[in-house]
Amino acid sequence: MIKQTTSSFLASTNQIWRNEKSREIVIQVIVLIALGWLLTWLVGNVSGNFERLGKDLSYEFLGIPAGYDINQYLIPYNNRDTHLRAAIVGLLNTGLVAICGIIIATIFGLFLGVLRLSKNWLASKIAYWYVEFTRNVPILLHILLWHGIIINTLPHPRKAIDIGEMAFLTNRGFYLPKPITEAGIELIYLFTTIGIIFSILFYKYANKLQENTGKQLPVFWVNVSVLIILPIIAFFASGMPVSLSIPELKGFNFRGGVQLSPELIALTFALAIYTAAFIAEIVRAGILAIDKGQREAAESIGLKSNKVMKLIILPQARRVIIPPLTSQYLNLTKNSSLAIAIGYMDLVATLGGISLNQTGREMETMVLVLLIYLSISLSISSLMNWYNHKVKLVDR
Amino acid sequence: MKLKMLLATTVAGVMAAGSVLAGTLDDVRARGKLNCIINTGLAGFAAPDDKGKWQGFDVDFCKAVAAAVLGDAEKVSYTTATGKTRFTKLAAGEGEILSRNTTWTFSRDVDLAQTFIGVNYYDGQGFMVPKKLGVKSAKELDGASVCIQTGTTTELNLAEFFAGNGMKYNPVPIETNAEAQELYKAGRCDVYTTDASGLYATKMSFDNPDAHMVLPEIVSKEPLGPVVRHGDDQWADIVSWVLRAMMAGEEKGITSKNVKKLAGQDNKDKEINRLLGKDPLQGLSKLGLSPDWAVNVISQVGNYAESFERNLYPLTIVRGMNALYRDGGLHYIPPIK
């Protein structure tokens, strides 16, 4: 009796195991259970250890004054503000570097990628060596190198390199004149808005005209002139309501104007030129992925080579380029956390650095930093996925 | 069956991991080595010598504890930590002692669940500037760029000092002392600020120390001392009494040269007898130390004055607040009875 049950049980398990579908389900369930167990154990272990050390998880420290100063803030900040505000200042600094870095890297990478495919031997070799050299050196070295170059080769503020008595280059950073708005500035804003609206309408009109008649209008030049001339007219018409705050050497350092710190410049520049090398390769791959028949067809209808690139090749290459490009944008953003090596006050240096240190809340701050980076990365991904979806080939 | 075994060993492992705290002394004895967390490099306090061996005032203290506990001052393995990682490393059990110019503050003591066992160096935050800057007082530093070593109480003192005097400054936060020195030398900052002892140490490591000066203002109280984890009172007592034994050595005139002789004879001062194990010291066995613990400390490392002179005199640091109370300083230890 018992033997029979056992054998029928074995037989039925055998059957489950032999059936591909049920076997897959069984394996997945086992893996899921194992993962769940591991996760529970990890969480339990952490909380157990915390209890043992007499520590608790608490985010109350975010509400108390941070007490330290930050040298670059995009929103008003002083040392009496809370740790939360200090973290936001750091987050914005991360954002500034990431956005500037992404823009410069994209433009530069696109340029290099096209240059790499150029028929001009020298241009293509230069791009080749640039890419090979840059992407094979760790990013941290790039950052340290550029920071070192700025602080060791540029002069002290008292001997600053002066550009037209307006801007100054020193080893404490670049000081630029800062526009200060006065009463009457509204007119300039109004005219600029009108200029932008006009450019958009003109662009649409020119496109339509070309579709209908084949006639081409000089859209680029017209729009650029409108966007420049209208604000200038408004500037003079409203009695020049903008003045410049020019940096001046007072005491130890320059005061007034805008200061770009050596850390900001070095970090942005290093991230941009490093990522540009990868983007160049992605762009090259994207262009090479387009069948050469497309180029030949475009040339045969008489398009010039820059038009071939702009109108035929790049729009198609875009579909190949975007997914790997997304991952480069993510890399650049995450690499910006290396800011800590040169003392740029980003999210890791404020919340994950000084705040951590002053409050001793390692777990809380690190979890928060992790979640913030995760959400930044996921936002960039979804934005790029949306764009990818928009440009991808639609089956008809 | 196998799964059960696996579960059982895992549970046992977790429970073993859970018992790290109690019995620090037993752990150290079983390992035969003391793990000590020290500075990544600060001349005079913890820096490798030309043979690559760690030397310095804080390193001496690690050695003293090893001498008391294991009988051999060389049985120490060192772990370095930056200002930022030190408490995490101590909490995680990477060392039994944190001997790294650590300022005793309320929140570190209470909130971070650590035990400060005493003060081995009274310090205060100061400023160093190049002489050619022509600054004579920290109150003339309005608008200056200031290099700070992050992960210290320094940032808060700095913010309070400048705000209190109605001055502005541009902070440049740096992770380690070595990097901060590089930036200061390259002229990225006008001023370098950290504990005055650190400033003297940094200055002496420059090619031309005379071109720099430490300003007279000391803007904060920085009582520096060794730290242990909360929760093992026996270990905290051992570490704190090792420090006191070194100071008692200076107070009673016991040096590395005469300690063996004093330990072998009956001294008029009975406190020397008790310290050196000639007369019984009540409760010593509760600490788990042998009667010759203090003899080992003083003979192998020296008393407080010897360690101070060996490590800090070359940096032109004077005793000042760090003299014994009878010489006008702040070090005053409880009697050894």
List the domain boundaries for chain B: 22-122+224-320, 125-220
A253 vs B84, B155, B170: nearest CB: B170
| Residue A71 Cα, gap to closest chain B Cα (Å) | 6
Same domain, A297 and A380: yes
Which phi and psi angles does B118 have, rounded to 5°?
A: 155, 180
Which phi and psi angles does B71 have, rounded to 5°?
A: 80, 0
Cα A188 from chain centre:
31
Residues of B in contact with A353 (CB under 8 A): 84, 150-151, 173
Residue A345: closest CA among chain B residues belongs to which residue?
A: B173
Same domain, A290 and A367: yes
State the Rg of chain B over Cα.
22
Secondary structure element (H or E) that encloses residue A311, with its range: none
Same domain, A102 and A3: no
| Residue A367 Cα, gap to closest chain B Cα (Å) | 15
B159 vs A79, A252, A340: nearest CB: A79
CA distance linking residue B103 with residue B146, whole number of Å:
21
Convert the pLDDT of each residue in B19-68 to its tens digit: 444 589 999 999 999 999 999 988 899 999 999 999 999 999 999 999 99
| Residue B319 Cα, gap to closest chain A Cα (Å) | 30
B91 vs A48, A53, A171: nearest CB: A53
Residues 6+ apart with CB under 8 A from A69: A78, A79, B155, B158, B159, B162, B169, B171
Residues of B in contact with A55 (CB under 8 A): 113
For testing contact with chain B, the best of A249, A354, A356, A369 (most B CBs within 10 A): A354
Whether B155 sits inside 8 A of A152 (CB atoms) is no
Whether A349 sits inside 8 A of B151 (CB atoms) is no
Find residue B103's DSSP bridge partners. B224
Question: If pLDDT is split at 50, 70 and 90, which confidence band does B205 have?
Answer: confident
Q: Compare B216 and B116 and report the one with higher pLDDT.
A: B116
Has residue A175 been placed in a domain?
Answer: no
Whether B111 sits inside 8 A of A356 (CB atoms) is no
* Number of folded domains that form chain A: 2
Give me the pLDDT at residue A106, please: 95
Whether A253 sits inside 8 A of B143 (CB atoms) is yes
And the tokens for A230?
């209208």
With 0-12 / 13-18 / 19 or more C-beta atoms within 10 angstroms meaning exposed / middle / buried, residue A226 is middle
Percentage with pLDDT > 70 across chain B: 93
A152 vs B141, B156, B186: nearest CB: B186
- Which residues of B, range 59-118, sit inside 8 Å of A by Cβ? 83-84, 87-88, 91, 107-108, 111-113
- pLDDT in 10s for each residue of chain A, 396 residues: 555 666 677 777 777 777 888 888 889 999 999 999 999 999 898 888 878 776 778 888 899 999 899 988 999 998 889 999 999 999 999 999 999 999 999 999 999 998 998 889 999 999 999 999 999 999 999 999 999 999 899 888 888 888 888 888 888 888 888 888 777 778 888 888 998 999 999 899 988 988 888 888 888 888 888 888 888 888 888 777 777 888 888 778 888 788 899 999 999 999 999 999 999 999 999 999 998 899 899 999 988 888 888 888 888 898 889 989 999 999 999 999 999 888 899 999 999 888 888 887 888 899 999 999 999 999 999 998 898 888 877 666
Same domain, A25 and A114: no
State the Rg of chain A over Cα.
29
ipTM of the complex: 0.72
- Cβ neighbours around B266 below 10 Å, total: 10
CA distance linking residue A167 with residue A186, whole number of Å:
27
Same domain, A8 and A147: no
| Nearest to A318, CA basis, from A113, A100, A101 | A113
CA distance linking residue A36 with residue A185, whole number of Å:
61
Give me the pLDDT at residue A2, please: 57
| Residue B59 Cα, gap to closest chain A Cα (Å) | 23
Give me the pLDDT at residue A6, please: 66
Asked if residues B100 and B62 have their Cβ atoms less than 8 Å apart, the reply is no
User: In this model, does residue B3 exceed pLDDT 60?
Assistant: no
Q: Does B142 touch chain A (CB under 8 A)?
A: yes
Residue type, A244: L
Has residue A198 been placed in a domain?
Answer: no
> Could you give the residue ranges of the DSSP H alpha helices within chain B?
2-18, 24-31, 57-70, 86-91, 106-110, 154-164, 177-186, 196-204, 233-251, 259-264, 270-276, 284-287, 293-300, 304-312
**What's the residue count for chain B?**
337
Q: Note whether B22-122+224-320 and B125-220 share their fold.
A: yes
Which phi and psi angles does B23 have, rounded to 5°?
A: 70, 45
- Secondary structure of residue B39 in the 3-state scheme: strand
Residue type, A209: L
Residues of the domain holding A291: 83-154+273-391
With 0-12 / 13-18 / 19 or more C-beta atoms within 10 angstroms meaning exposed / middle / buried, residue B168 is middle
CA distance linking residue A312 with residue A292, whole number of Å:
11
Whether A341 sits inside 8 A of B183 (CB atoms) is no
Which phi and psi angles does A363 have, rounded to 5°?
A: -60, -45
Residue pointed to by tokens 């953003």: A333
Same domain, A281 and A380: yes
- Does domain B125-220 fall under CATH 3.40.190.10? My reply is yes
B83 vs A251, A357, A360: nearest CB: A357
Residues of B in contact with A357 (CB under 8 A): 83-84, 150-152
CATH of the domain spanning B22-122+224-320: 3.40.190.10
Section B275-293 average pLDDT:
91
Convert the pLDDT of each residue in B134-176 to its tens digit: 889 999 998 899 998 776 678 888 999 999 999 989 898 887 7
Give me the pLDDT at residue B13, please: 43
Give me the pLDDT at residue B261, please: 93
CA atoms within 13 A on the CB side of B293: 24
**What's the residue count for chain A?**
396
Give me the pLDDT at residue B254, please: 95
Whether B18 sits inside 8 A of A52 (CB atoms) is yes
- Cβ neighbours around B329 below 10 Å, total: 14
And the tokens for A290?
């387009």
Residue type, A371: L
Same domain, A304 and A377: yes
Whether B158 sits inside 8 A of A69 (CB atoms) is yes
A345 vs B108, B160, B173: nearest CB: B173
